[in-house]
Amino acid sequence: MSDNFFKWDQERLTTHVDAMDNEHKKLIDIMNRLYDRYEAKATKPELQSIVRELASWTITHFEHEEKFFDTLDYSQASVHKKIHKDLIERLKSHAAEFDKTGVLTPAFFQFLKTWLTAHIMGIDTKYGVIAAQKSA
């Protein structure tokens, strides 16, 4: 599998919750595929279908994550859900922009990269800490 766009980094990105790490890896796979096909100058319909897959998997992943952290005594749950909502809105607006222009912009890829690093490292790892305390 390609990691031209973003490489999984166990040490920095792990939440210590295997199911969620696997879902994050799947997200990263889709983004890498999108980037590779963009670099290969794939057609708009092909790129659109990958963007749709990314949006739909993101929504699914956020649902799983929210269900999971609702089982924990996680004080940041509502803030985290709000952040998810905002990310989905921003992803959708980038997708709509692409539908209109047919151009995937550097800003779109920058958004994906920031999301991966800032959200997974800065936010998702927090429920990981709580989950680890619970199972200890």
User: Nearest approach, Cβ of 119 to Fe ion (angstroms)?
Assistant: 6
Nearest to 13 by CA among 97, 129, 124, 103: 124
One residue of 50, 54, 124, 128 binding Fe ion per CB under 5 A: 124
Residue (42 or 87) nearer to Fe ion, CB = 87
Residue (31 or 124) nearer to Fe ion, CB = 124
What binding mask, one character per residue, do residues 53-82 give for Fe ion by CB under 5 A, x or -? ------------x-----------------
What tokens were used for 55?
A: 């949006």
H-run or E-run covering 38: helix 18-39
Nearest to 47 by CA among 35, 64, 59, 63: 35
